[in-house]
Structure 1
């Protein structure tokens, strides 16, 4: 009995192939804002690849780095940019029929045919997980064009799962196509771009959600700069989306990003706190003042209360309110002259 994977792939009628609308260059470029060496080099290589006549480009990148947007950018600035752009999920059961349908349409149209039903680029997403028949259909798509490659192929994959090592069929596709490879840099390698990216994303989501949000407070920006961003630019976009959705202010403060933590910026002089407006909330200021007082007094509640001009009982309530009791214990344990017992002991609060 023949294996289902070896069966001949029937092409999908081209009428059933979904051609996306003209790509939004603004949305694609927004993800690659920045002046860091990593993103400047990537933009240069992507522009160069767009002018290349190679049949296949491999885009490697972690989740959320913007592989599909990079493919959109490449398509838009290439000589095929006026033709449609098609995205195909390599893990879908419809992937092979869609590729076969496009190949059949190109073959039937002839070498000199043009029009909006022949795609300029096909983007094969998550190719590392593609079934063999999908890769074979992609090869047929290239062969159907002959020497004049009117339809380019962009293959996206995660860098930890290089498609060449995952599937023999995909390896054949890449080997016979004269493939070039680009890696979309993760956000941690271009962390200095976060302020520019964040401002662009604030403008985007404020427009979409119809909110009068002007930007980020310095404290919120500092918190974003300290974040690791395992989800890359997609995570940053989602954080700003949610922040604008729930804010009632014209500025996104640190309170708009409750999962990031962070604090106001302290100066290089002990005991000095720099408060920058607009954007710094009263809660931000009180939290950082409490942290500073505990740090300067080694976690001693009585001394911290005296420094702040409040009673130790009022300080205790504030520590409980902001869940800073653990911070007080850590500051106490780091104090070089910390001794148990006496009025500064944990029981005397």
Structure 2
């Protein structure tokens, strides 16, 4: 057979397990046969095996999608038809016929990502810190339903990655993901954009569906929801509660089937206190609330993120950068990252634009504007003796600046060889006598 067959007895113990099922579940017959089903496979919280459900209820289950894990924690997704086995009116077991949709689903998902513009999935969220892993787990649970989600996080923390991942992991993945930044347009335009317009509603108005209608059977992502005016927030609340909208200038309501995910870049409590967000809208949107941690609260993820961005720009720029120097990693750990992951990404891109043949991003490759505003004063002080000037004073004469650089560079090389003039002169590619002359002239002790 080209389908998997799994049969359990009245105790939930496997008595038939065919070869195709071993392929679908990446198991061996010995792993499963004559063992209780509940001890071999794991199911997400609140879910039960369709086989065990059928055994307990005595009812057939047709064409049901099920996702679960084998004993190696590998995720399996199948479409099952499950039937009770009866003898003299008594349930003596259950049989399941399963089709593998894991590979098919992956191909469909990849096509959908290209089609609806939602490129990210949970697998692409980078981080191993407890802070980010907890949010990923909560987001995965939220993806199983169609409840509204409120994503809270600072600018650049990665809110849209979570929004796209939730959409792509949900049953609405085949539908559109429509995104709109509410701060990008004034209320007069946003209202028509969200709800649509009827012909003749105002001068030049045409019959046009809004974003709610365009997102039918899919997800509507509203970023910076706190930038909407209070009247428009009230209209949005009504649409969420009634599951219907009315185009501007129209006289009839239109039913909608849309999941709403909203994002806010400030604490919701503070937003309510400062009249940026209606309390009732917050309660309606925040059925599930995800707080995306800022980068400063998960600095252990910085090396992973940095290496990811290095690889990304290696491909774009045709470079072979291998990573960051220890001093740069230390420097990054001292920074507060007000721009979060987006700031780190732009910093890596900027540094690689300043590189030529180097393979390691060093302190000297970091953009000047970043060095000037970083709070890592201790690291800056540590590099005052390095063979470069991080940020020369504005307006200083070139001659004076060059003298300071020469002093710093010679001091660095001499220190590097613990005062050995001959070895320092060799690296500087000048004679020993010339180096001694410069040391006396610049007041450097060798």
* Structure 1 and Structure 2 fold alike (TM over 0.5): yes
1:142 aligns with 2:142: no
Deviations 1:57-96 (A, max 9, x none): 1111112111122211211111112211112222322322
Deviations 1:286-318 (A, max 9, x none): 98996899xxxxxxxxxx799524559638859
Return closer, same or farther for 1:117/1:36 CA change in 2, 3 Å cut-off. Answer: closer
Aligned equivalents of 1:306, 1:218: Cα separation in 2: 21
SS at match of 1:308: coil
Classify 1:187/1:312 alpha carbon distance in 2 versus 1 (closer, same or farther; 3 Å).
farther
**Cross-structure match for 1:155:** 262
**8 Å contact kept, 1:305–1:315:** no
- Whether the 8 Å contact between 1:136 and 1:173 is mirrored in structure 2 is yes
Instruction: Give the equivalent residue in structure 2 for 1:112.
Output: none
Evaluate the alpha carbon distance shift between residue 134 and residue 213 of structure 1 in structure 2; reply closer, same or farther with a 3 A threshold.
farther
Other structure's SS at 1:45 match: helix
Higher strand share: 2
Distance of aligned partners of 1:177 and 1:289 in 2 relative to their CA distance in 1, 3 Å threshold: same
How big is the shift at 1:99?
Answer: 1.9
Alpha carbons of structure 1 residues 172 and 39: separation in structure 2 relative to 1, 3 Å: same
Return the alpha-carbon distance in structure 1 between the equivalents of residues 437 and 330 of structure 2: 31
Tell me if structure 1 keeps the 8 A contact 2:154–2:294: yes
For residues 441 and 300 of structure 2, the distance between their equivalents in structure 1, rounded to whole angstroms, comes to: 39
1:25 to 109, 120, 124: 120
Give yes or no for the alignment of 1:96 onto 2:188.
Answer: no
Match 1:257 to one of 340, 359, 366: 366
Residues 250 and 313 of structure 1: CA distance in aligned 2, closer, same or farther (over 3 Å): closer
Q: Number of residues paired by the alignment? A: 260
Q: Does 1:65 align with 2:157?
A: yes
Structure 2 CA distance for partners of 1:221 and 1:101, relative to 1, 3 Å: same
Q: Structure 1 pair 253/95, CA: closer, same or farther in 2 (3 Å)?
A: same
Q: Decide whether aligned partners of structure 1 residues 318 and 33 sit closer, same or farther in structure 2, where only a CA change above 3 A counts.
A: farther
* Structure ranking higher on relative contact order (CA contacts 8 Å, 6+ apart): 1
Q: Report the counterpart of residue 51 of structure 1 in structure 2.
A: 144
Distance in 1 between the 2:319 and 2:299 partners?
Answer: 27
1:117 & 1:184 partners in 2: Cα distance? Answer: 25
- Relative to the length of structure 2, the TM-score reads 0.49
Mapped contact 2:155–2:340 kept (Cα < 8 A): yes
Distance 1:159 1:108 in 2: 25
Give the aligned partner of residue 305 of structure 2: 197
**Distance in 2, Cα, partners of 1:197 & 1:108:** 35
CA RMSD of aligned residues (A): 4.0
Q: Deviations over 1:11-49 (max 9, x none)?
A: xxxxxxxxx9421116x754x312111011111111111
Counterpart position of 1:118 = 216
Counterpart CA distance in 2 for 1:196 and 1:100 is: 42
> 1:123: Cα distance to partner?
1.4
Which is further off, 163-172 or 204-213? 163-172
Q: Which residue of 114, 123, 132 maps to 1:39?
A: 132
Question: Measured at CA, do residues 309 and 121 of structure 1 come closer, stay the same or move farther in structure 2, by a change above 3 Å?
Answer: same
| 1:129 paired residue number | 227
SS in 2 for 1:230: coil
Q: TM-score, normalised by structure 1?
A: 0.62
1:129 CA drift (Å): 2.0
210 and 138 in structure 1: CA distance in 2 versus 1, 3 angstrom threshold:
farther
Question: Relative to structure 1, is the Cα distance of residues 228 and 167 closer, same or farther in structure 2, using a 3 angstrom cutoff?
Answer: closer
* Structure 1, unaligned runs of 5 or more: 1-19, 110-115, 266-285, 294-303, 320-343
1:80 aligns with 2:80: no
Partner of 2:419: 308
Counterpart for residue 315 of structure 2: 207
Structure with the greater alpha carbon radius of gyration? 2
Q: Is the 8 A contact 1:164 1:171 kept in 2?
A: yes
CA distance in 2 between partners of 1:170 and 1:289 (Å): 63
Q: 1: distance between equivalents of 2:417 and 2:276?
A: 72
Q: Note the alpha carbon deviations across 1:224-257, whole angstroms, 9 max, x for none.
A: 2332212111110110111122211233223222
- Preserved contact between residue 177 and residue 215 of structure 2 (Cα < 8 Å): no
User: 1:43, 1:175 → 2: CA distance?
Assistant: 22
- Structure 1 pair 317/88, CA: closer, same or farther in 2 (3 Å)? farther
Pick from 239, 250, 262: which aligns with 2:347? 239
The Cα shift of 1:199 comes to 0.8
